Amino acid sequence: MEMNKRGQGLSTNAIILIILGVFILVILIVGFTMGWDTIAPWLSKENVDEVATSCALACNSLSEYDFCTQKRTLIDEEKNEYRNVTCHALSVIGELDKYGIEGCNALDCGITIPTSINSYANCTGHEGDTIFVTDKKVKTLVTCPTA
């Protein structure tokens, strides 16, 4: 009597591990392609102290690029998010002075940023102005193109 032993089959543990591995892989792919805030909004934490420290370090080390040009994202404890802001912008914009980012007298950024910026939905009528484009609690600093 000869038995057919062509296939052994997978154990239940192996099937569970494969399913778990595929699930984790899908989460990683979605997280890296669409952003972690999309799948886990509780992961974004306030970073005001971190941004303030990096701005102070940029000023103390006289790093003009880091202070005047490098774009940052600031998230406060109420989950308000300010995107595309520089240390220079954070130090001069009136509505952001509550975060305590100091200006840097040792650097001349040569960039004029209004001390008060209104929030608008689009650039219509604000060509050449620096404004915040607002979407819920996310404010993105943009310079509207000139016509």
- Residue 115 to residues 5, 95, 139, Cα–Cα distance (Å): 79, 8, 16
Task: Assess if residue 5 is contained within a domain.
Answer: no
Percent of the chain with pLDDT over 90: 25
Looking at residue 10, its pLDDT comes to: 76
Residue in 4, 1, 14, 82 with CA at minimum distance from that of residue 46: 82
Other beta carbons within 10 angstroms of residue 101's beta carbon come to: 26
State the pLDDT confidence band at 99, using cuts at 50, 70 and 90.
confident
Task: Reply yes or no on whether the pLDDT at 7 is more than 60.
Answer: no
Q: Clarify whether residues 87 and 18 are in a common domain.
A: no
Instruction: Order the strands of the 138-143 sheet from edge to edge.
Output: 72-75, 81-85, 138-143, 130-135, 119-120
Q: Clarify whether residues 137 and 91 are in a common domain.
A: yes
Task: Reply yes or no on whether the pLDDT at 144 is more than 90.
Answer: no
Task: Assess if residue 34 is contained within a domain.
Answer: yes
Q: Clarify whether residues 61 and 23 are in a common domain.
A: no
Percent of the chain with pLDDT over 70: 82
Residue ranges making up the domain that contains 23 = 12-41
Backbone angles phi, psi at 114, to 5 degrees: -60, 145
Backbone angles phi, psi at 26, to 5 degrees: -65, -45
Number of domains observed in the structure of the chain: 2
Local structure of 138: helix, strand or coil: strand
Q: Clarify whether residues 18 and 73 are in a common domain.
A: no
Local structure of 27: helix, strand or coil: helix
